[in-house]
Copies of this chain bind each other. A is one copy, B any other.
Amino acid sequence: MTIENISINKSFGGWHKQYTHQSKTLNCDMRFAIYLPPLASNKQKVPVLYWLSGLTCTDENFMHKAGAFRMAAELGIAIVAPDTSPRGTEVPNDDGYDLGQGAGFYVNATQAPWNRHYQMYDYVVNELPALIEDTFPVLNKRAISGHSMGGHGALTIAMLNPEKYSSVSAFSPICNPINCPWGQKAFTAYLGDDKAKWKQHDASELMKQASTFVPAKVDQGQADNFLTEQLKPETLEAAATLSGYPLEYNLHEGYDHSYYFISSFIEQHLTFHAQHLNK
């Protein structure tokens, strides 16, 4: 595997680094970012939080705006932020911001023209962690978190792979994509018309039926423009009640869908993950 470092910045005594690599899963070059806390060295390995971003984002949004490094440095946690889709001129795209590049939805596409590149589920679950654990001073202790489309990705990936993640969290996640416009558009394109296949990537459906639990924390702003039509956290909450899922869910008055919300509560999420990663 070839991996190339393209930027490096010291922050809170640790290092933010961006890399490109050829992804066999996605059939294109991909960029990701990693934050390595001061504790990380060849002698001391650290656990990893994978962060999945929302629609239109790249590896940069979280690293620039979340204000996460202070606590990651203090707690000794690495953070890995992949891109949100395959990229490149050869990769199919769509005119909408909510399909195609920047909108991979963390599923494996089965439909043309998407299926050759849009395999974000396999990339995030398998190829990327293998690359990270081969390359950096990290343990194979993993947590996963994300925002909006990335919150959907984090919740579904954790529930489909409970043995791989010690905890999961999400900000403003798309909780029930089979019943919202963003999810219906993307799942139709990537997965086709068979709604039974959609349910395998719907956080509320998975949570309803779950019997193996990954401790989960979800935060949602009440002033979020997408709350009612796209996010539907009440469906996730009902599903957790049904299965007895350990979901810590909080609504926050006045907060919106932006990184101004995420940055306000990222410390709580990192502390939550640290508790489970260090067990």
Contacts and interface: CB of A to CB of B under 8 A. Distances in A.
A258 interface: yes
Interface string A56-67: 000000001101
A274 to B, nearest CB: 18
A6 B16 CA distance: 33
Number of copies of chain A assembled together: 2
Contacts of A255: 10-11
Nearest to A256: B9
Contacts of A221: 10
Chain A binding surface SS class = mixed
A97 interface: no
Contacts of A243: none
Nearest to A252: B10
Nearest to A64: B65
Interface residues of A, number: 24
B65 A261 contact: no
Interface string A244-278: 00000000101110111101100100000000000
B64 A261 contact: no
A70 to B, nearest CB: 7
A244 B264 CA distance: 41
Nearest to A12: B264
A223 interface: yes
A221 B13 CA distance: 12
Contacts of A263: 11-12, 67, 69-70
A217 to B, nearest CB: 19
Contact of A256 (B10, B12, B261, B267): B10
19 contacts: A9-B258, A9-B260, A10-B221, A10-B252, A10-B256, A10-B261, A10-B264, A11-B260, A11-B261, A12-B263, A12-B264, A13-B264, A64-B64, A64-B65, A67-B67, A67-B263, A69-B263, A70-B263, A70-B267
